[in-house]
Structure 1
Amino acid sequence: MTELPIVQTIVPVTHDLGDFRVHRALPSRDRTMVGPFIFFDQAGPAKLEQGQGIDVRPHPHINLATVTYMFEGSFLHRDSLGSCQLIEPGAVNLMTAGSGIVHSERSPDEDRAKAAKLSAIQTWLALPDGQEEMDPAFEHVPETALPVVEAHRARARVIMGSLWGETAPVTTYANTIYADISLQPGAAIPIDSDAEERGIYLAGGDAALDNLRLSPMTLYVLRPGLGATLRSVDGGRVMLCGGEAFSTPRHVWWNFVSSSKDRIKAASEDWTAGRFEKIPGDAEEFIPIPKGTPKTVSYP
C-alpha cells in the first residue's frame, strides 16, 4: 500500500483583530511544533484605509526567536536592544529573545498616509536545549541577500536553512528549513525528505501534494522520510517549514516559550512588575498580561 505524504492537517484558529484577521496554525490542540516552529500566523491579507495602521504595542518574549516575513505592506520594528528596522516584502526580521526582550511592530507613517495592504507570515522558533537563555539579538536580512531557486515553473525564496542547493544567510539555532514557494500554473516540484519534520502551508491560490488537493490557509504536516511532489493547476503560494524534532517539549503561554513552566511564570511576574527593559522611542505603551487563558497557549 502506498503511504500518503500527509500525516496531519491543522486548520488555523482565526482571530479578528478589527482591521485585519490573523490565522493561527501553531500551536494547536493537536500539535505544538513542527521542527523548531512553535508558532505560525498568517496576518491578513487586509486593506487599510488612509489614516489606519497596525499597532502591536510593546510586549515581551523569552526563550524563542521570532521571524517576520512580509507578503505585502511593511512594519516598523523596535526593540529593547535599540533596534529600529523597517521590514518590507521579501526581507526577514529575526529577533532572538533568549533571556528576554521587548518589541513592538507598527505601521510606518508613510503607510498610514495612504490606503495600504498588509499581508505577512509571523513565526516563532523555539530555541534548543542549552540555548534558551542566550543573549537577545536582532538581525535584518534584505530581500536581495536571500537566495532564490527557479525550476519546474516554481520560484522559491529560501528564508532559513538550505533548499535545493541554496542556503540562506539568516542565523539558525537548530536545523531549520523555511521557504516561500511561488507556483506558476502547471508547476510540479519535488519536496525532499531531508528534514525530520516538515510542514506545508498554502497561503493562497491552489496546490496539491502528489494527488492530494490542499486547502488554503491550512497547515499540512508531512510524513517523515517520504518525498512528495508539490503541484499547482492555476498557481499558488506555499510556505515550507520544518527542521529537527525537539526531544524536550516546549510550553507556550501568551508571548512566552520555554522548556520550563516555572520560567514562564517568572517571566509573567517580571512583565507585570515592569522588570523588562524598555524600548527606546516606544516606551509609553505596553500590552498587559492577559487575564485568564491567553489566545496563544500550548495544550497538555
Structure 2
Amino acid sequence: MTFSLIKPHVKDLGGGFTVRRLLPSHPHKMVGPFIFFDHMGHVRFAPGEGLDVRPHPHIGLATVTYLFEGAILHRDSLGTVQEIHPGDVNWMTAGDGIAHSERSPDALRRAGGALHGIQTWIALPKEHERTEPSFEHHPGVALPTVSQDGVELRIIVGSFFGKTSPVTSYSPMFYVAAEMQPGARLEIAPDYTERAVYLAEGELTLDGEALPERHMAVLPEAQALTIEAKTRARVMLLGGEPMDGDRFIWWNFVASSKEAIQQAKERWRAQGFGKVPDETEWIPLPDEPKPAESFS
C-alpha cells in the first residue's frame, strides 16, 4: 500500500449523535498542524430535538467547523453569536483560552432536520499558543474555488492549487473540500511535507488502491499521488508542515507543556474563561462528579 490508512473510531455524544474520530491516532497523532479530526453525523433530528454541546473551554488550538448539511449556532466567551451553514467556515482561535457552545438554531430545532459535517482542531505553533482568542466567520462565497474536469475544490484554510483562503492560519497548511464526479481525477502534489486524504462519501482510489469510505489516507512524503473517483465522491484534503515539537492533549486542551494544561484545568474549575452569551450551564472537567462530553 502506498499510503498509511487511519480507521475511524465511532463515539456517541448522546441522543444518537455520533462522530467518527480519525485524529489523533497511532502512529499519526498529527498531520501537519491537524491534531483532531471528527466526521459528525449524518444524523437527522426529529422536531424538537437538536445538537446541544454546552459551554466548554479550549487552549492552544484553533477549531474549524465545516458543514455539508444543516446548521449550528456558535456562541463564545468573546460575545460571538454566529450561525454556520454548509460551505461556510467558522474558525475560532482559542490561543490563551476561550469557551464556547454549539447548539442547533431555533428554526432547525422546531422543524427537525439533518446535521452533517467535519470539525477539526489545528494546533498552534508555540509562538502563537498564548495569542489572544478570536473568532472568524467566512461565508462560502468568500472562499476561493477551483473547477476542473469534474472536480470542484473549495479552499477552506491555507493555500492549494494556486489559491489562498482568507481564513487566518498560523502555519503553512492546506484544508480543502473536494466534490468529485465519477471518473474525475486529481493529482495531489508534494507541496507540503505532511498530507492526508479523507473520504467522507463515495468510492475512490489513490494511485489505483481503494480508500475505504470514512477512512483517512496519510500520504508518503515527496510523492505525488492521483485520486480517481469511482462514484460521486466527497473528499477532504488536508496537511501542512510538521509542528514545532510534540503536543499534549487532555480533554479539550492542547499545549506544548503539561503545565499549561494544568493551569487551564484550574482556570476552568474556577470558571475563569469568561461567560458565553445566553448560557447558564457548562461541561465540567472529566474528573468532576458529572460525566463530561468531548466535542470541539
Give deviations 1:204-233, integer Å, cap 9, x for gaps: 111111101011111111001100111011
CA contact (8 A) 1:45 1:119 kept: yes
Helix, strand or coil at the partner of 1:113:
helix
Report the Cα distance in structure 1 between the residues aligned to 2:7 and 2:128, rounded to whole angstroms: 31
Runs of 4+ that moved beyond 2 A: 291-296
Matches within 5 A, 1:61-76: 61-76=58-73
- Residue 291 of structure 1: CA displacement? 2.7
For the residue of structure 2 that corresponds to 1:270, the secondary structure is helix
For residues 177-192 of structure 1, what are the structure 2 equivalents within 5 Å? Answer: 177-192=174-189
Partner of 1:11: 7
Q: Is the 8 A contact 2:55 2:276 kept in 1?
A: yes
Deviation string 1:212-259 (CA, Å, 9 cap, x unpaired) is 101111111100110011101111111001101013101111000000
Partner secondary structure for residue 203 of structure 1: strand
CA offset digits 1:74-96 (Å, max 9, x no partner): 00000000011000000000000
User: Distance between the aligned counterparts of 2:268 and 2:60, measured in 1?
Assistant: 15
- Runs of 5+ in structure 2 lacking a partner? none
- Mapped to 1, the partners of 2:244 and 2:276 lie a distance apart of 34
Output aligned runs, 1:71-220, within 5 Å.
71-220=68-217
Note if contact 1:76-1:86 (Cα within 8 Å) is conserved in structure 2.
Answer: yes
Local SS of the residue matching 2:115: strand
Q: For residue 48 of structure 1, report the CA deviation from its aligned partner.
A: 0.7
SS of the aligned residue for 1:29 comes to coil
Which range is displaced more, 17-26 or 92-101? 17-26
Question: Does the CA-based 8 Å contact 2:125-2:244 persist in structure 1?
Answer: no
Residue pair 2:155, 2:164 contacting (<8 A) in 1 also: yes
- Counterparts in 2 of 1:294 and 1:243: CA distance versus 1, 3 Å: farther
Supply the AA of the counterpart residue of 2:43: A
For 1:254 and 1:295, locate their aligned partners in 2 and report how far apart those are by CA, in whole Å: 9
Match of 1:229 in 2: 226
Corresponding letter in the other structure for 2:193? E
Q: Given residue 285 of structure 1, which amino acid in structure 2 is its aligned partner?
A: E
The CA distance in 2 between the partners of 1:21 and 1:224, in whole Å, is: 32
Contact conserved, 1:253 with 1:264, CA < 8 A, in 2? yes
Structure-2-length-normalised TM-score: 0.95
1:267 is paired with a residue of what secondary structure? helix
Instruction: Flag structure 1 segments of 5+ consecutive residues without an equivalent.
Output: none
Shift of 1:196: 1.1
Normalization by structure 1: what TM-score?
Answer: 0.94
Which residue of the other structure, out of 255, 260, 263, is the alignment partner of 2:260? 263
**Amino acid of the structure 1 residue aligned with 2:252:** N
Q: In structure 1, give the amino acid aligned to 2:230.
A: V
Give the number of aligned pairs: 292
Determine if contact 1:65/1:124 at 8 Å carries over to the other structure: yes
Is this contact kept in 2: 1:253–1:294, CA < 8 A? no
Counterpart Cα distance in 1 of 2:201 and 2:229 = 11
CA separation of 1:201/1:191 partners in 2, compared to 1, >3 Å: closer, same or farther? same
In 1, the alpha carbon distance for the partners of 2:44 and 2:112 equals 7
State the distance in 1 between where 2:27 and 2:195 align. 16
Among candidates 218, 229, 249, match of residue 252 of structure 1: 249
CA distance in 1, matches of 2:26, 2:203: 26
Q: How far did residue 295 of structure 1 move?
A: 8.1
The alignment-based identity, stated in percent, is 49
